[in-house]
Structure 1
Amino acid sequence: MTRIAVLTPDPADSSYAGQWPTVLERLAGALATAGITVEPSPWTEHVEDASGLTGHPLVLPLIVWGYHRDHGRWMQACETWQAAGVQMLNPAEVIGWNSDKSYLGRLADKGVAIPPTVWVEAVTQADVDAAFERFGAETVIVKPRVSGGAWKTLRLSRGEPLSGAPEGPAMIQPYLPSIESEGETSLLFFGGALSHVVNKRPVAGEFRIQVQFGGQYSALPEPSAGALALAQKTLAAIDEDLLYARIDMAQGPGGEWLLMEAELIEPDFYLGSAPDGGRRFAEAVRARL
């Protein structure tokens, strides 16, 4: 058996204590089918010194939950791992830039379709009011550029005062009603090949599709041609050495597919919805070893 490292949350962060061991167990089960065992290690123990990681043939940053609440140290850690030559996939440089959603703007510059977006350094009521006028929308979404799991994400209706705004750099987008009617679709890629497709829908009255908000997930037999084309265009625009990627998208007002996120750090792979239970992921990891 080959032993690799999987980075996990800060032990001092109790908010994930009851969740990440289950995710690790699911990942470990899939990897075991390819003769790979995992050694969990908190990412916060390797911020300034990567020596505890350099001895591993491969390090997967798949459960680094909470990095968005400690982003300064996260970026320092990514620089440390990159400088030390840690055999990490996805690469430390990639998971560094992928932690700030401004990457969506760079992908848009390369022709990838995203929702109309206003980028602000510190969101104000004036910014929100201007966004309503710019988009001609009745509802907008305000979210931090560094976030995870819909953390500090707001949905505001026209005329509704801004309250509980995220601190620091943020983004404002028109709300896509298709999130409620059609849901968000995720395409999972391992080793550059499509593995499976999952549709995620919020419960009635909710706009967040995450499990903690009651999101309902279902496997799809295959993506639509438009969804697959957007995912492939996104991966081509990223043009990095990726072991895994989850490409999240939703439909715009005209039915066009729009990129919501390219999750390259610690995405939920929804292995329970994968027809092979994660075999393709395990094989992709084994191929890199």
Structure 2
Amino acid sequence: MSRIVVLTPDPADPSYAGQWPGVLERLAEALATAGLTIEPTPWTDHVEDASGLSGYPVVLPLIVWGYHRDHRRWMQACETWAAAGVPMLNPAEVIAWNSDKAYLGRLAEKGVAVPPTIWVDGVTEADVDAAFDRFGTDRIIVKPRVSGGAWKTLRLSRGGRLADAPDGPAMIQPYLPSIETEGETSLLFFGGQLSHVVNKRPVAGEFRIQVQFGGQYVSLPEPPAGALALAEQTLAAIDEDLLYARIDMARGRGGEWLLMEAELIEPDFYLSSAPDGGQHFATAVKARL
């Protein structure tokens, strides 16, 4: 069996200790169907020296959870891996730029539909007040440009105070009420082909759809009307050689699909919701060996 590397969280970071081993197990089970075995190693062990990743046919950065809290080292690691020619999939250059949500602005310039966004270097009360007026809404979302798992993401109502604002570069968007009623829909692509579709909804009173906030996930037999078109447009605009991609989208106020994220680093693939249990992913990995 071929051995491949899967990068895992910093062992000093306890935030995801109860979650990532289960994700690793699901990945291992899927890859085993293609005769592949996993060698897990923390990404933080290879920031300055990539020699520990040499000799492997593929390195997958699929569980590098927590990189957003140490973004400087993350960017250094990506540079190290790129310079050393590590067979990273997705490529090190891609997972570097994809770690900063400013890429959404670049995709918007290429015609991809994203929510209206104000980009700021640091969120102030004045920025928030201006956003309510500019968007013509009574609720907005504030989040860091570098984030993960809704980290430091705020939902603010007009007249409320800005508390616990994210430090550094951030983005402000109008809140999409459809998140509460229709949720967010994710299309999973492996080797450029659609694998499966998952709808994610928050529990009552919540706006975050992540599992840690009680999010409820349901597999869909096919993409909702119009969703696949936006996903394919997004991938065409990205125009990179991708092993995998998770395209997250939600409905705008007019019912149109809007790109929320193009997750190209460490997305949960929701393999338990995949009809084939992840064999499509395993086949895509094996095709790269």
**Structure 1 residue 198 displacement after superposition:** 0.3
Superposition CA RMSD, Å: 0.5
The equivalent of 1:75 in structure 2 is: 75
Q: Aligned equivalents of 1:60 and 1:41: distance in 2?
A: 10
| 3-state secondary structure, aligned to 1:166 | coil
The equivalent of 1:129 in structure 2 is: 129
| 3-state secondary structure, aligned to 2:26 | helix
The equivalent of 2:286 in structure 1 is: 286
| 3-state secondary structure, aligned to 2:51 | coil
Q: Aligned equivalents of 2:21 and 2:200: distance in 1?
A: 23
Q: Is the 8 A contact 1:246 1:262 kept in 2?
A: yes
The equivalent of 2:239 in structure 1 is: 239
Give aligned-pair identity as a percent: 84
The equivalent of 1:21 in structure 2 is: 21
Deviations 1:83-132 (A, max 9, x none): 00000100000000000000000000000000000000000000000000
The equivalent of 2:61 in structure 1 is: 61
Q: Aligned equivalents of 1:202 and 1:137: distance in 2?
A: 21
The equivalent of 1:152 in structure 2 is: 152
| 3-state secondary structure, aligned to 1:52 | helix
The equivalent of 2:142 in structure 1 is: 142
**Structure 1 residue 228 displacement after superposition:** 0.4
User: Is 2:200 the counterpart of 1:200?
Assistant: yes
**Structure 1 residue 224 displacement after superposition:** 2.2
List alignment gaps of at least 5 residues for structure 2.
none
Amino acid at match of 2:73: R
Amino acid at match of 1:171: M
Q: Aligned equivalents of 1:277 and 1:239: distance in 2?
A: 27
Deviations 1:193-236 (A, max 9, x none): 00000000000000000000000000001012310000000000
The equivalent of 2:221 in structure 1 is: 221
Q: Aligned equivalents of 1:141 and 1:209: distance in 2?
A: 14
Within 5 A, what are the aligned runs for 1:27-42? 27-42=27-42
Q: Aligned equivalents of 2:27 and 2:105: distance in 1?
A: 32
User: Is 2:123 the counterpart of 1:109?
Assistant: no
TM-score by length of 1: 0.99
Deviations 1:146-181 (A, max 9, x none): 000000000000111101100000000000000001
Q: Aligned equivalents of 1:284 and 1:84: distance in 2?
A: 24
**Structure 1 residue 80 displacement after superposition:** 0.2
The equivalent of 1:51 in structure 2 is: 51
The equivalent of 1:260 in structure 2 is: 260
Q: Aligned equivalents of 2:46 and 2:59: distance in 1?
A: 12
**Structure 1 residue 15 displacement after superposition:** 1.6
Q: Is the 8 A contact 1:142 1:154 kept in 2?
A: yes
**Structure 1 residue 21 displacement after superposition:** 1.2
Q: Aligned equivalents of 1:19 and 1:253: distance in 2?
A: 34
TM-score by length of 2: 0.99
List alignment gaps of at least 5 residues for structure 1.
none
